Amino acid sequence: MIYVFLSVCSSVLVSVLLKLARRYRIDVFQAITWNYSIVVILFFFKPQLTNIHQAPILTYSALAILLPAIFVVMGLAVRTAGIVRTDVAQRLSLLISLSAAFFVFNETFNPLKMVGIGLGAVAIACAIPWQKQSSNDEGKGNSWLYLLTVFFGIGVIDILFKQIALYKEVPYTTSLFIIYAMAFTVSMLVLLYMVVTRRVKFTWRHILFGWILGFANFGNILFYLKAHQALSANPSIVFSAMNIGVIIIGTLTGVLIFKEKLTTLNKIGISLAIVAIAIIAYAKTLEKKDKVDRSSDKKIKTELLIRKLN
């Protein structure tokens, strides 16, 4: 479980850094751009680039654009809505991928998972500050829009990553390296345009901040993958512990360190989010057990049939 804990801490650290960016006058887009350079500098996943001609380039390209775009929106969400609400929206984005599995990929759901999805939908509605906020902070009134964009955007990204995980011609770690390298290239092209048009200028503090953000971001990915490897027989434990852990630690960080204010409705939403994730994780465990039982029954029936024929 140490890998789960490290992944949770890395994920919350990303939100904390995005929160601190404004305080230290960091250009979030520049920081996000340099964040993606970390994968190239560290050559993190030691990719095998021999089969890249078989790679799903369109899916890679979509992710290369979506990743930095949603990262920027996440920065706006953290700044205007706070760490707590942004982490809840980010974690409950799993409802998008689960819904896609049901409506698009025709996956069969048990009633318990449907209950979890329903509770999650109520949780996101409770966590988002729908009421108009009076503040001098530019964009504060759009915090609900940023949170919804994070919710749907990360959900779509998760669906695309799951499609890539099913693509066996290219190793998953190689795909990750290519995607993040492409995301860095896309972000850098946009940044160069902004520099040429004199909207921004390169400074070392943005680069250093971006590298720190990159270590936290890719630490989250690395430890999450290692957690699944270490607990390969119990993926639901990793799933639930990761998502619930981020919501709990993110809430404690936001409330205790950054003094974020939560309404009663927000607190209800956070509680429902934790319950929803736990129910979905348990439903996943039951589905896996049911598949094993059916496979075992089928094997027994086949053996009995063979004995009768003999």
- pLDDT average, residue stretch 56-68: 94
For the cut 70, the answer to whether the pLDDT of residue 218 exceeds it is yes
Return the residue matching tokens 């960016």: 21
- pLDDT average, residue stretch 225-237: 80
| CB-CB contact of 81 with 137 (8 Å) | no
| CB-CB contact of 84 with 15 (8 Å) | no
Enter the tokens of residue 304: 């009995």
DSSP SS3 for 287: helix
Burial of 209 (0-12, 13-18, 19+ CB in 10 A): buried
For the cut 90, the answer to whether the pLDDT of residue 163 exceeds it is no
Across the chain, mean pLDDT equals: 85
Q: What are the angstrom distances between the C-alpha of 61 and each of 35, 64, 161, 295?
A: 18, 5, 12, 38
- Phi-psi category of residue 138: left, alpha or beta, with phi > 0 → left and psi -120 to 50 → alpha: beta
For the cut 70, the answer to whether the pLDDT of residue 299 exceeds it is no
State percent of the chain over pLDDT 70.
85
**pLDDT score recorded for residue 226:** 86
CA distance 124 to 91: 10
Q: How confident is the model at residue 67 (pLDDT cuts 50, 70, 90)?
A: very high
**pLDDT score recorded for residue 300:** 63
* Bigger pLDDT: 130 vs 162: 162
**pLDDT score recorded for residue 146:** 94
| CB-CB contact of 265 with 122 (8 Å) | no
Q: What is the pLDDT of residues 191-216, one digit of tens each?
A: 999 999 988 888 889 999 999 999 99
For the cut 80, the answer to whether the pLDDT of residue 46 exceeds it is no
State percent of the chain over pLDDT 90.
48
Residue 208: closest CA among 12, 38, 72, 73: 38
| CB-CB contact of 269 with 123 (8 Å) | yes
Residue 206: closest CA among 71, 21, 20: 21
The length of the chain is 310
CA distance 1 to 240: 12
**pLDDT score recorded for residue 42:** 66
For the cut 80, the answer to whether the pLDDT of residue 287 exceeds it is no
Enter the tokens of residue 76: 């706006």
Q: How confident is the model at residue 44 (pLDDT cuts 50, 70, 90)?
A: low
Its domain, for residue 35, covers: 2-309
Q: What is the pLDDT of residues 1-23, one digit of tens each?
A: 799 999 999 999 999 999 999 88
Q: What is the pLDDT of residues 101-145, one digit of tens each?
A: 777 766 777 788 889 889 999 999 898 876 655 555 555 678 889
Residue 25: closest CA among 206, 204, 190: 206
Q: How confident is the model at residue 306 (pLDDT cuts 50, 70, 90)?
A: low
Within its chain, how far is the Cα of 18 from the centroid?
A: 15
For the chain, how many structural domains are there in total?
1
The DSSP code for 95 is H
**pLDDT score recorded for residue 307:** 61
**pLDDT score recorded for residue 167:** 82
Q: What is the pLDDT of residues 271-284, one digit of tens each?
A: 999 999 999 888 88
